[in-house]
């Protein structure tokens, strides 16, 4: 018993140490001198002009106060001076496509990535953004989606979330999303041209950019551009819009698994490509291609990228990175190695044609945005440098053009060029300082001396103790929603439903069914809130159903076969964190093939109180 108590005490002390360490690191950065001076070095300011030698940059708080030259300005008393002679000064990098996760801050910041965009919407993302902005947690600037507008893209599809199938629904969805103060709003698949038009009009009224992933089955890149979208993520839908034989791709949007499949580019018509490129340039459409993710082993410098990835994850201080994400990212370059030769060649040709399209687009004056689609296909941070290398080595961009694709271009695309993206007076102080000239070799961007984010010098070491009380989960805060949709279909095909007796739900004559969770309400509360009644919606709830909150059973009341109420004591939500919710149906399991008596896992977020 004493041994157990000692172990419990040790664990609690370790947890306290982790939380205090994060808080201390944030406070230490906040307590840095109010004025920071970068003296000397060559300034590549992000505007694309001639670099300036012997630059001096004065940072006060989180803003750039002065951009000048050596000997032309005096320094404020007490300023901390970084001697940058022989070094190169650039704006912090922005990854234009990042599925941000709780474990990414050190990997991104240590590689000079000070902003990330296309962060998925939802409570966690907005809470994380606020925690970073307020200094509670370390991390890059988060450009968070306000919402995603989509509709069923194939017959019989069971959707999770609200389908948007009319212009009126689109406008209402946009208005709801705008209330969350997002960076952009996302349009995706299954949506008609009329819905695209209505949504774009409403989004632009709010002064926000429209990010689109138009992969059909009716709207592809051309139609989305005509509807007025601003950013094509993954270059989605382009391959279909420039196909020589469009009839071969009429059902592509129904069967395509994800929007980074480049296969339609195998059918690329150069004339159609040139026509589409001119339309994109005329309408100032930005393209974010994620070539590090799309190529997945077809890249010229694949071996070098793969070796760097492995070396990073060999660091024992990064053991906190979830194993399944580490495994997924490290096998990116080997995904197509086992294909039959003919299929391998087909995919390789599609990728090479996509690269060639990007070359044509840049030559015509188009603006690319550098992104990685991490944490789906690339190691955070270093993946951004690999993408920049691909833009230079394969697309044929100059190093300066590649740098702009990760600095000025995304700031311009997301309509924040007035405050970031370049090193100019009055802008936010996000700065990358490297030891060798990146205009001679884009790989020199990896030779980093200092990273400054929000005016604070970043500690560029990894910490084995790193943790975050605000965790998210790659599949969403309700895990296993695909499993839930299948369970729901199975439930609806039960004996009572087949007989048309839906008024009281299914009859369970052979034991307890497997419960499934679709949603929680509320899904986010604030630390220190009073006791709450948690509504769990799903399927297969019975009078035996019991809710577990972070592993502890809590009082549960059956409302219906699709709704439970759970009483959550105030003591359980007294501190910030992410807590699990599951439902169990004790007794003989009727559906062992679905997991027995236990549901999928949902999570409730307890946010910081400010």
Residue ranges and CATH numbers for the domains of the chain are 93-420 (3.20.20.140), 481-607 (2.60.40.10)
Predicted local distance difference test score (pLDDT) of residue 133? 96
How many Å apart are CA 24 and CA 508, to the nearest integer?
A: 54
Sequential DSSP letters for 294-356? HHTT-STTHHHHHHHHHHHHT-GGGTTS-HHHHHHHHTGGGTTTTS-HHHHHHHHHHHHHHHH
pLDDT at 163: 86
Give me the sheet containing 456-457, strands edge to edge. 42-43, 88-91, 431-434, 448-453, 456-457
pLDDT of residue 508: 54
Query: Can you give the pLDDT at residue 259?
Result: 78
Question: For each successive 10 residues of the chain (610 residues), what is the average pLDDT?
Answer: 48 47 48 84 98 98 97 93 98 97 97 93 92 96 92 74 90 94 94 96 97 93 98 96 92 80 95 98 98 95 96 97 93 92 96 98 98 92 98 98 98 98 98 98 98 97 96 89 90 58 52 94 97 96 96 97 97 97 93 90 97
Query: Which of 441, 411, 414 has its CA nearest to residue 423?
Result: 411
3-state secondary structure at position 409: helix
Cis-peptide into 150, omega within 30 deg: no
Inter-residue contact 199 to 170 (CB < 8 Å): yes
Beta-sheet strands, E only, within 385-488: 431-434, 448-453, 456-457
Any idea what the Cα angle at residue 369 is, between residues 363 and 375, rounded to 5°?
140
Q: What is the pLDDT of residue 33?
A: 58
Q: Which residues, at least 6 apart from 100, have a Cβ–Cβ distance to it below 8 Å?
A: 116, 119, 120, 125, 128, 142
């Amino acid at each position: 018993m004493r041994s157990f108590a000692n172990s419990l005490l040790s664990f609690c002390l370790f947890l306290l140490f982790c939380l205090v360490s994060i808080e201390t690191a944030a406070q230490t950065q906040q307590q840095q001198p109010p004025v920071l001076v970068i003296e000397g070095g060559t300034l590549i300011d992000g505007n694309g002009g001639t670099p300036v030698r012997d630059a001096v940059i004065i940072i006060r708080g989180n803003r750039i106060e002065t951009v000048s030259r050596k000997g032309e300005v005096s320094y404020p008393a007490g300023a901390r001076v970084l001697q940058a002679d022989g070094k190169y000064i650039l704006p912090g990098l922005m990854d234009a496509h990042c599925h941000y996760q709780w474990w990414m801050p050190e990997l991104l910041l240590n590689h000079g990535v000070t902003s990330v965009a296309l962060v998925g919407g939802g409570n966690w993302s907005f809470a994380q953004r606020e925690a970073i902005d307020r200094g509670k947690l370390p991390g890059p600037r988060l450009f968070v989606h306000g919402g995603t507008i989509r509709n069923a893209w194939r017959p019989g599809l069971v959707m999770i979330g609200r389908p948007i199938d009319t212009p009126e629904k689109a406008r209402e969805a946009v208005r709801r999303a705008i209330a969350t103060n997002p960076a952009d709003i996302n349009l995706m698949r299954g949506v008609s041209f009329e819905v695209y038009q209505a949504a774009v009009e409403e989004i632009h009224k709010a002064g926000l950019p429209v990010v689109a992933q138009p992969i059909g089955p009716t709207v592809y890149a051309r139609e989305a551009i005509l509807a007025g979208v601003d950013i094509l993520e993954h270059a989605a839908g382009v391959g279909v819009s420039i196909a020589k034989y469009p009839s071969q791709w009429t059902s592509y949007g129904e069967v395509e698994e994800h929007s980074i499949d480049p296969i339609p580019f195998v059918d690329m018509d150069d004339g159609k490509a040139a026509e589409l490129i001119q339309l994109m340039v005329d309408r100032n459409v930005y393209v974010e291609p994620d070539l590090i993710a799309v190529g997945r082993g077809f890249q010229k410098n694949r071996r070098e990228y793969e070796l760097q990835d492995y070396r990073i994850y060999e660091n024992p201080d990064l053991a906190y990175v979830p194993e399944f994400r580490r495994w997924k990212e490290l096998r990116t370059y080997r995904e197509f190695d086992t294909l039959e030769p003919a299929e391998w060649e087909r995919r390789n040709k599609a990728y090479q044609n996509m690269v060639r399209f990007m070359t044509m687009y840049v030559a015509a004056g188009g603006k690319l945005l550098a992104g990685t689609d991490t944490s789906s296909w690339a190691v955070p941070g270093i993946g951004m440098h690999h993408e920049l290398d691909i833009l230079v080595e394969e697309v044929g961009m100059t190093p300066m053009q590649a740098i702009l694709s990760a600095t000025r271009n995304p700031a311009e695309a997301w309509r924040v060029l007035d405050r970031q993206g370049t090193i100019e007076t009055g802008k936010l102080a996000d700065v990358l300082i490297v030891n060798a000239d990146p205009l001679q070799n884009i790989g020199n961007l990896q030779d980093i001396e200092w990273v400054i984010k929000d005016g604070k010098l970043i500690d560029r070491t990894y910490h084995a103790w790193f943790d975050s009380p605000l965790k998210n989960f790659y599949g969403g805060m309700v895990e296993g929603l695909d499993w839930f949709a299948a369970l729901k279909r199975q439930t609806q095909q039960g004996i009572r439903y087949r007989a048309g007796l839906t008024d009281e739900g299914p009859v369970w004559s052979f034991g307890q069914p497997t419960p499934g969770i679709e949603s929680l309400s509320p899904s986010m509360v604030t630390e220190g809130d009073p006791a709450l009644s948690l509504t769990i919606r799903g399927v297969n709830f019975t009078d035996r159903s019991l809710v577990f909150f972070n592993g502890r059973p809590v009082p549960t009341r059956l409302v219906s076969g699709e709704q439970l109420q759970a009483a959550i004591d105030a003591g359980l939500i007294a501190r910030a964190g992410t807590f699990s919710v599951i439902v169990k149906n004790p007794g003989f399991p009727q559906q062992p093939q679905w997991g027995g008596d236990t549901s999928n896992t949902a999570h409730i977020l307890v946010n910081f109180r400010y």
